[in-house]
Structure 1
Amino acid sequence: MKATRRTGLTRAASCALMAGALVALSGAAYAADPLVKACAKNGEFVIGFSQANNAEPYRQHVNDELTAAAKAAPQFTLQIADGAGNVNTQTSQVDNFITQKVDLLLISPFEASPLTPAVQRAIKAGIPVIELDRKTVGDPGKDYTAFIGGDNYKIALEAGKYTADKLLPDGGQVAVLEGLPSSTPAVERLNGFKDGVKGNSKIEVVAEQAADWLPDKAQTAFAAMLQAHPDIKMVYASNDMMAAGARLAAKGAGKEGQIKIIGTDGLPGPAGGIRAVAEGEWAATFTYPTGAKEAIEMAKSILLDCATEVPPNVTVATTAITPDNAKSLMGN
């Protein structure tokens, strides 16, 4: 009886082991499935890009770099749709891409919450979604495939530290021009800068206002700030366009050159922040990398290399543009 009992236990254990092995193999096979079924080295693929607003210089800079990166991959056809700063327009364009059955969707959502359902529909349709620069609601790797962009909070934190340590070591009044409050970069940049200047207890943030990334709104807002707080010594603008508007407001108040200005984006070209710093109009700007090259590389991994997974978050580093390096970077 003892021998029989041992034999029964051995068979049960064997069955359990076999079942476990089958489950493990099944799980391994599932995990090894590529992110898209129709992937191939020599395939031809359409990538749809839903851009938040082509009218913004930074957005056009993204488009240019994305187009250049896509041209280096002959298997890719890139289609760019201009959301025109309107969530309804952008939602319709994303739905059009889904109807067209694009192979991969890139999106820079104009606003986070309103574009979330459209992204969810794309994922449900089996289309990988890479969010570029801005996020919808949810977690990368779970609610959408991946996020690629700079660390907005960290970029603004560096701007705040630069202000506290270099620009206003003796303290003073500071103002902040925030981007569109319903977009994730605006919130992150506002919080990052305010945390950065906390390292200097003599600095006081006396005014903050949203100007929606627009230079005319920034000019109006900063002009009002200067009237209410004539002792402002420095303004942090959450993008280069608003920094340009702040400079016009300072000039209008007869304070050009007296108020230190920091932008964000570090755009090239005659209207960009790099030139403004190089020519002494601003104290600094911090580059916000487009992530275009990284996005196309991830698309290659998914569509050409049949990747089973990709990094859910890819952070692209920033560069501080100051009087020390601005001139050398103007041609880049």
Structure 2
Amino acid sequence: MMIPKLYKYPVLLMLVATTLIGCATTKTEQTTPTVAAEGPTDGVFGPDALKKLTPSCRGDKALNIAFFLNTQNNTFVQAMKSGAEQAAKECNIKLDVFDAKFDTTTQINQIEDAITAGKYTAFVIQPVDSVPIVESAKNAIDHKIIVSVTNSPLGDAADRYPGTITYVGHKEIEVGKQAGQMALDALGEKCGKILIVSGLAASPITQNRTNGFAKNMSRNPNCKIVSDQPADFDEGKAQSVIENLIQAHPDAALVYAHSDNMASGAITALKAAGKQLKVVSVGASEQGLKLIASGEMYGTIYFRPFIQGQLPTVAAAVVARGAAIADIAPYYNDSGNQIITRQNVTDFRAEW
């Protein structure tokens, strides 16, 4: 069955949209949050897209879909898995989930083995590393398998990679710019030395979040990034990184963490050392929102991992049931690129 074409939604509509029952949402009484000037709200808004797509994903015949996660040892990705499982219930899907344990070779082998198995109608891929996975994704497409991508685009694509049906998530260079805007707002004209706690060293997500941040920080010559150390999106590693960095840079003014769990680790290290640096982050975890509300973290960027798991799975099912790829948007923004600070933190609910 063909479904209506989707269009971009105005920002005000985006802010009042709600998701399916059972999924964590922003409150309907939410006021307009701060949005960074350089962080566009492009892409079709994910919660609205779910309302349109879900009725078309259902069918009497069960679909076999494989979901390839980059890891399951991460609360963000666990929320993505829960979203995919919700889609499986709604769309009559037999869902198999594969855990690459943050290893690119493992993920490539998992995808190739799933192609060989010949049982899957569709794949949903959360790449460990966007570039090496491309050939396996192409191989799946050559075998007439529907491919949907989430969390990180394939290859050098900004959104939908050719041959895949969609990308769900964020444009990470813009996420970095938004984090940079928060840092500029937090530090003011005086600015100072900045420490970055990044994710996986080779990951395009990590590179783009840093590059976008650095681009915005360059607007103020008083801002100086003095260190960028990976902590693999791990809270304990982030704590250790900051323990070392504040000894090397005792006069640092701000920490930029690539995820809220790493921000939490950084704040633990800062408190133990009696330091009161500003902290900005990405992800809007439950812990992150608590840290913002208490004043221990300046701000974060709203991500919705449940939708990052649910929506690409629903989209794959819709195409499997007869819709054309042209009826699926090339890019779904899961959360509307919203910045959360202490001024609006009560307007949001975490999904991880």
1:302 aligns to 2:296 (yes or no): no
SS of 1:112 mapped into structure 2: coil
Distance in 1 (CA, whole Å) between partners of 2:164 and 2:156 is 8
Offset of residue 308 of structure 1: 4.5
Structure 2 equivalent of residue 280 of structure 1: 295
SS of 1:134 mapped into structure 2: coil
Distance in 1 (CA, whole Å) between partners of 2:244 and 2:97 is 38
Give 1:132's match in structure 2, choosing from 150, 157, 162: 150
Instruction: Work out whether residues 161 and 199 of structure 1, in 8 Å CA contact, stay in contact via their aligned partners in 2.
Output: no
Structure 2 equivalent of residue 190 of structure 1: 210
Structure 1 equivalent of residue 346 of structure 2: 327
Structure 2 equivalent of residue 87 of structure 1: 104
Structure 2 equivalent of residue 180 of structure 1: 200
The structure whose residues are more often helix, as a share, is 1
- Alignment: residue pair count: 288
Offset of residue 120 of structure 1: 2.3
Instruction: Work out whether residues 133 and 149 of structure 1, in 8 Å CA contact, stay in contact via their aligned partners in 2.
Output: yes
Distance in 1 (CA, whole Å) between partners of 2:132 and 2:229 is 23
Amino acid paired to 2:99: D
Structure 2 equivalent of residue 109 of structure 1: 127
Structure 2 equivalent of residue 261 of structure 1: 279
Question: How does the TM-score come out when normalised to structure 1?
Answer: 0.79
Instruction: Work out whether residues 197 and 238 of structure 2, in 8 Å CA contact, stay in contact via their aligned partners in 1.
Output: yes
Offset of residue 183 of structure 1: 1.4
Structure 1 equivalent of residue 93 of structure 2: 76
SS of 2:255 mapped into structure 1: strand
* CA distance 1:141–1:221, shift in 2 (3 Å): closer
Amino acid paired to 1:306: A
Instruction: Work out whether residues 160 and 197 of structure 1, in 8 Å CA contact, stay in contact via their aligned partners in 2.
Output: yes
Structure 2 equivalent of residue 15 of structure 1: none
What are the within-5 Å matches in structure 2 for residues 195-206 of structure 1?
Answer: 195-206=215-226
1:236 aligns to 2:253 (yes or no): no
Amino acid paired to 1:251: K
Distance in 1 (CA, whole Å) between partners of 2:121 and 2:156 is 22
Distance in 1 (CA, whole Å) between partners of 2:303 and 2:296 is 19
Instruction: Work out whether residues 124 and 313 of structure 2, in 8 Å CA contact, stay in contact via their aligned partners in 1.
Output: no
Distance in 1 (CA, whole Å) between partners of 2:338 and 2:112 is 36
Distance in 2 (CA, whole Å) between partners of 1:331 and 1:110 is 24
1:219 aligns to 2:236 (yes or no): no
Offset of residue 218 of structure 1: 1.7
What are the within-5 Å matches in structure 2 for residues 148-187 of structure 1?
Answer: 148-187=168-207
What's the CA shift string for 1:238-288, capped at 9, x where partnerless?
Answer: 111211221122123221xx11111211123xxx31222122221111122
Amino acid paired to 1:285: T
* CA distance 1:304–1:262, shift in 2 (3 Å): same
Amino acid paired to 2:309: A
1:208 aligns to 2:228 (yes or no): yes
Offset of residue 60 of structure 1: 0.7
Instruction: Work out whether residues 41 and 305 of structure 1, in 8 Å CA contact, stay in contact via their aligned partners in 2.
Output: no
RMSD value, Cα = 2.3
* CA distance 1:302–1:218, shift in 2 (3 Å): same
Question: How does the TM-score come out when normalised to structure 2?
Answer: 0.75
- Relative contact order: is structure 1 or structure 2 higher (C-alpha 8 Å, sep ≥ 6)? 2
User: For structure 1, which runs of at least 5 residues remain unmatched after alignment?
Assistant: 1-38
Structure showing greater Rg: 1
Instruction: Work out whether residues 159 and 262 of structure 1, in 8 Å CA contact, stay in contact via their aligned partners in 2.
Output: yes
What's the CA shift string for 1:71-125, capped at 9, x where partnerless?
Answer: 222x222221111222232223222322143111001111223323322221121
